[in-house]
A and B are shown apart, each in its own frame.
Chain A
Amino acid sequence: MPELGKDTSGTTSGATEASSWVGPSTRSVSRGESILEVRDLVKHYPLTQGIIRKKQVGAVKAVDGVSFDLGRGETLGIVGESGCGKSTVAKMLVQLEKPTSGAIRYKGEDITELSGRALKAVRRNIQMVFQDPYTSLNPRMTVGDIIGEPYEIHPEVAPKGDRRRKVQELLDVVGLNPEYINRYPHQFSGGQRQRIGIARGLALNPEIIVADEPVSALDVSVQAQVINLLEKLQQEFNLSYLFIAHDLSIVRHISDRVGVMYLGRVVEIGTDAEIYEHPTHPYTQALLSAVPVPDPTARDHRERIILSGDVPSPANPPSGCRFRTRCWKAQERCAQEVPLLAVPAVFRDADSPAAHDSACHFAEERVVVPR
């Protein structure tokens, strides 16, 4: 744990919240230098009533206090079910949504308050790859115009005469024929479109790519192609990925570290081995155990945790631990006290992979992924 001193920035807001919290967790910090620090990120969408004078009657708490670091050249996977807020986090990182509160520090600078030219400059470095390859490309523009648009918006990156060549280079980089430059998106299949979207994301030489479910709309046989491409590009350009997906197998494959979200909060975060092989949060355990494994011999002796009920509404989340309404371990304390995301007390002195951040009062290790 070499970066002890660096993480103190994240402690201030958390420490005031509960006394049981003892200090910064160094384990949630990535290896190496972190390029992006997210602190207590909150996004509430107001619910209003009334026709003329809109009165706020509540809020959908889509994201409610999320913190994590992203290291240079690292992939942080975020998993969670629909409505957990993972896509909202992605949108805030690329400044498509303004956070209600909290900080997103890119190289130490909080970008949530930026506007105008400074914001535009930051945007160059944080780009996004979208989920749906069908709606993420403008059907009226040629591929050349789509991939070249970043240069029109940021003319300083490439002089005009150079752009066509750059676009063709990008097409080549993502595995498409450079001669396709004058075609339109509808002339491509889903997988090819996703490559175009990736090329557009790469055009400005960003340092961070936020990928929101980049392969979930693709056919199984094409998913592997796109995942391999993303991994190749990461090595080639030393990119940092925030990889958001609901498919736990894909996230494990591509991620160095994984954060699990539930109802607007991160409930557990750690390296891929810590999360998948030594989960300590009951939600992570249930999630992992529910994933169908492509191995028919495993089905008879696999332990599956079937959760009861549905995810509560983010407009009215349960008090205390948000998972308690579906948790088989829930007790009085879970309703009253919000469990903080830290190394659980039981593991604090243990030198085991179970000693990673987990927001549960009754954290215990349980192996659910058969090996």
Chain B
Amino acid sequence: MPEPTSPKDDLAVSGAGAGGAMDLAVAEGTSLEQPPGSGKSDKARSLWSDAWHDLRRNPVFIVSGLIIAFLVFISLWPSAIASGDPLACDLAKAQQGSQPGHPFGFNGQGCDVYTRTVYGARASVTVGVCATLGVALLGSLLGGLAGFFGGWFDSLLSRITDVFFAIPVVLGGLVFLSVVPGTTVWPVIAFIVLLGWPQIARIARGSVITAKQNDYVQAARALGAGNSRMLLRHISPNAIAPVIVVATIALGTYIALEATLSYLGVGLRPPTVSWGIDISSASAYVRNAPHMLLWPAGALAITVLAFIMLGDAVRDALDPKLR
């Protein structure tokens, strides 16, 4: 009678099933003849609520969550904490340092660095969130379908993703954005979605293939379930976690990419306010007036880091096996 367990499973601690949740919390006093044990075991605990339970106790999540909440807040209502106008500049004050009412000083054009740094969040957050949504939707849709149906569509998609992985990001951005110019965030978002979806598609494809092989999918098929039911009820909920994790981490890198492209002069362009643009214009004066560079660059670094930390925390919560 093979007991398909690793030596460690003997402990019943690591006896995690497909869901990965720990078994220990489980059976308690629930022998068949007895009423269920009292306390928390009585409650229905879905894997999502377990993950949320873990997340709430994770300091990494709390810190990154607070930073992100703050960023979202100031990108929606920048005037709440910055009363000035980011485009109101006074050349006479160019490159001046910190002074009352202007804690971060002034930039090369004499604009208030504090106000511009606050207003710059909007561009970054918009690009990050919209690009990630686009990438995640397109990538998981195509990748998921390829993984589920396989066959020629899958082969074709795999070749296409290979091609996309071969495109150098910055060079591609330079070309794309000089062909599709514009001062708004939308061409940048379009470019990131175009370039980013294959990464998610690969992950979605892999995780759908893994989920598809689970016996519960076979069980649903044996019951007579159709493709849409299997995809929506059985495969997607069990395949989505890696996509969420990678997308969250990617969000930070997309924000950095936007700044890079703006720095190079092809991403966002003035009068749009963006950290990338400010970093670019400040870099020429970094010796004389480093504050002009430090504030937007610091804001960018903290933002990117916050999303990457959030992704890590989410991964830990969704996949307890990694701990």
Contacts and interface: CB of A to CB of B under 8 A. Distances in A.
Interface of A: 91, 94-96, 119-120, 123-124, 127-128, 130-142, 146, 149-150, 152-154, 175-177, 179-180, 182-189, 192-193, 197, 200, 204, 215-217, 219-220, 223, 225, 246-247, 250
A94 B222 contact: yes
B163 interface: no
B216 A184 contact: no
Given A132-B215, A187-B41, A140 B2 contact: no
A140 B26 contact: no
B26 A136 contact: no
B58 interface: no
B229 interface: yes
B36 A223 contact: no
Given A139-B17, A184-B47, A216 B1 contact: yes
Contacts of A131: 215
Interface string B12-43: 00000111110101110010100110000100
A184 B45 contact: yes
Contact of A183 (B20, B44, B222): B44
A337 to B, nearest CB: 35
B1 A140 contact: no
Given A130-B215, A187-B26, A219-B3, A154 B224 contact: yes
B21 A139 contact: yes
Contact of B233 (A94, A138, A189): A138
B138 to A, nearest CB: 24
B46 A123 contact: no
B133 interface: no
Chain B interface residue bracket vs A: 35 or more
20 contacts: A96-B218, A96-B221, A123-B223, A124-B224, A128-B219, A128-B222, A132-B215, A135-B216, A138-B216, A138-B234, A142-B46, A146-B216, A152-B229, A154-B224, A183-B45, A184-B46, A187-B25, A188-B27, A223-B1, A250-B1
- Chain A residues touching B, majority SS: loop
A95 to B, nearest CB: 7
Contact of B44 (A95, A140, A142): A142
B129 to A, nearest CB: 26
A177 B222 CA distance: 26
Contacts of A154: 223-224
Contact of B218 (A130, A140, A176, A184): A130
Given A127-B222, A186-B26, A200-B219, A140 B46 contact: yes
B40 to A, nearest CB: 10
Given A176-B32, A216-B1, A186 B219 contact: no
B19 A185 contact: yes
A136 B27 contact: no
Contacts of B20: 139
Contacts of A95: 222
A111 B256 CA distance: 58
B238 A217 contact: no
A153 B229 contact: yes
Most buried by A among B1, B19, B237: B1
Contacts of B41: 187
B219 to A, nearest CB: 6
Given A138-B237, A217-B4, 18 more contacts: A95-B222, A124-B224, A127-B222, A135-B214, A135-B216, A138-B238, A139-B20, A140-B238, A142-B44, A149-B220, A149-B233, A180-B36, A184-B47, A185-B19, A187-B41, A189-B23, A189-B27, A216-B1
A127 B223 CA distance: 7
A197 B219 CA distance: 9
B252 to A, nearest CB: 28
Nearest to A181: B44
